[in-house]
């Protein structure tokens, strides 16, 4: 049985650029049917918290393995080897695109490499970088925040994590923009995929040079950790190291960038939340998790049905696309009281933001570190921020991506 209603259907290709409309439409669809076959988008849209949690659990025949190829609808499969050789080779080695034992074995090594000690070692640098950026914001007063401030934090932190020169910061934006356009939109255009192959090749050339350097001069950085981490007799292959470095750029850059931008927009609209955060800096990590739930930067993750099965009375067929809507589950009133309210007192142990289950985000500690340190310092230094104009959203679906956000900071008044 497939419940269908043109009145509730969603075209996932066009929706992301509509800003917050995507959240209201996902809410409406969830209330109508949390496990919905979309005629418009030709996929299952899973928007209830319970259903999305089941989808992430790894207990259903929903696969991550074939996700990249499934989304390259703009390019015929027979053209993949010629047009996208590096993209396909290394995307197939990224941990988020794997299932079963292959995923589990790689994940154990990556969790060991990107460990809490390594992340914590970045805290002094993050604090210093945040201070520099807030000095800039205070000096300018009015500033384009998304590129001028928020991108400058995760980009610099990633380079520090990898032990790479700050001069690469300008290249990070081009890399991240190209990858985001191709891999996080519902229907990428052929030109975006061709650009992705060029970017992937460029990143690989840079990372190969960095890897050769670490073999001679090991450092206290993630590249060195990836090369040296072992689990019994297991260690990362060169392809897995390169694929993981690509993932760090893909998953660790624009996600935090957009979380900072959408987060400051949310706090600007909620002065009581701003005041609460200032009064409770010790809750900064919990506050950051609630803020991420509310802003719904993490919107959806795709899966492919690996074999026919029944799910809540529906028949899902092998090869069908399933979109697990994190944004819908994180605003499900069955789990969250007044989900449309930003409430730093609510428990968030069931949040879907970092993906529950087998694919829980390996970089969650790094993201929480940056968000908590930035907003702690911001609310302490300023009394508020004014949004000069609402942001434009890009066509990214997997996470909500902003093009620009002009703001004006209000300096803190002396007591």
Lowest-confidence pick of 68-82, 176-190, 379-393? 68-82
Distance, in Å, from the CA atom of 160 to the CA atom of 168, rounded to the nearest integer, reads 11
Instruction: Supply the range of the domain harboring residue 101.
Output: 16-411
Which pLDDT belongs to residue 250? 81
Query: Sign (positive/negative) of CA torsion 120, 121, 127, 133?
Result: negative
Does any domain span residue 5? no
Distance, in Å, from the CA atom of 264 to the CA atom of 259, rounded to the nearest integer, reads 8
Q: What's the domain count of the chain?
A: 1
- What digits encode the pLDDT tens for the residues 116-161? 999 999 999 999 999 999 999 999 989 999 999 999 999 999 999 9
Query: 10 Å Cβ neighbour count for 210?
Result: 17
Does any domain span residue 10? no
Does any domain span residue 122? yes
Record the tokens describing residue 232, joined without a space: 């019994």
Report the C-alpha dihedral over residues 396, 398, 403, 409, rounded to 10 degrees. Answer: 160
Q: Which among 366, 412, 381, 355 is positioned nearest to 52, based on CA atoms?
A: 355
- What digits encode the pLDDT tens for the residues 180-207? 888 888 888 889 889 999 999 999 999 9
Does residue 5 surpass a pLDDT of 50?
Answer: no
- What digits encode the pLDDT tens for the residues 195-245? 999 999 999 999 999 999 999 999 999 999 999 999 999 999 999 999 999
Does any domain span residue 3? no
Q: What is the average pLDDT across 68-85?
A: 76
Give the global pTM: 0.94
Q: What is the mean pLDDT of the chain?
A: 92
37 close to 4: Cβ distance less than 8 angstroms:
yes
Confidence of residue 1 (pLDDT cuts 50, 70, 90): very low
Does any domain span residue 7? no
CATH number at residue 207: 1.10.630.10
Q: What share of the chain is helix, strand, coil (3-state, %, to 5)?
A: 55, 15, 30
Strands 321-325, 234-235: pairing is: unpaired
Record the tokens describing residue 274, joined without a space: 């701003």
Does any domain span residue 69? yes
Look at phi and psi of residue 42 and say left if phi exceeds 0, alpha if psi is from -120 to 50, else beta: left
Does any domain span residue 358? yes
The more confident residue out of 72 and 26 is: 26
Which pLDDT belongs to residue 415? 59
């Amino acid at each position: 049985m497939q419940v269908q209603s043109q009145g509730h259907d969603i075209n996932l290709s066009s929706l992301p650029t509509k800003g917050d409309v995507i959240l209201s439409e996902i809410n409406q669809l969830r209330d109508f049917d949390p496990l919905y076959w979309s005629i418009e988008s030709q996929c299952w849209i899973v928007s209830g918290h319970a259903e999305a949690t089941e989808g992430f659990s790894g207990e259903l025949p929903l696969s991550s393995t074939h996700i990249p190829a499934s989304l390259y609808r703009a390019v015929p499969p027979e053209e993949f080897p010629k047009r996208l050789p590096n993209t396909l080779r290394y995307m197939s080695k990224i941990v988020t695109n794997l299932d079963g034992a292959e995923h589990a074995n790689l994940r154990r090594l990556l969790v060991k490499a990107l460990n809490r000690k390594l992340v914590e070692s970045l805290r002094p640098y993050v604090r210093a970088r945040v201070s520099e950026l807030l000095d800039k914001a205070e000096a300018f007063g009015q500033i384009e925040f998304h590129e001028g401030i928020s991108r400058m934090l995760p980009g610099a932190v990633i380079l520090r994590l990898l032990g790479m020169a700050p001069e690469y910061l300008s290249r990070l934006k081009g890399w991240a923009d190209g990858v985001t356009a191709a891999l996080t939109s519902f229907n990428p255009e052929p030109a975006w995929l061709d650009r992705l192959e060029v970017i992937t090749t460029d990143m690989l050339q840079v990372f190969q040079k960095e890897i050769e350097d670490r073999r001679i001069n090991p450092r206290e950085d993630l590249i060195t950790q990836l090369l040296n981490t072992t689990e019994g007799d297991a260690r990362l292959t060169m392809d897995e190291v390169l694929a993981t470095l690509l993932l760090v750029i893909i998953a660790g850059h624009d996600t935090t960038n957009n979380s900072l931008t959408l987060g400051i927009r949310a706090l600007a609209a909620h002065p009581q939340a701003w005041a609460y955060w200032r009064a409770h800096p010790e809750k900064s990590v919990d506050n950051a998790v609630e803020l991420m739930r509310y802003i719904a930067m993490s919107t959806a993750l795709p899966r492919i049905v690996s074999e026919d099965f029944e799910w809540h009375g529906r028949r899902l067929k092998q090869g069908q696309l399933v979109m697990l809507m994190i944004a819908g589950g994180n605003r499900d009133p069955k789990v969250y009281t007044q989900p449309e309210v930003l409430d730093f007192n609510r428990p968030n142990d069931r949040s879907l933001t970092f993906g529950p289950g087998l694919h829980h985000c390996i970089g969650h500690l790094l993201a929480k570190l940056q968000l908590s340190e930035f907003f702690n310092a911001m609310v302490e230094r300023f009394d508020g921020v004014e949004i000069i104009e609402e942001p434009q959203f890009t066509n990214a679906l997997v996470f909500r991506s902003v093009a620009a956000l002009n703001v004006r900071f209000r300096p803190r008044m002396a007591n």
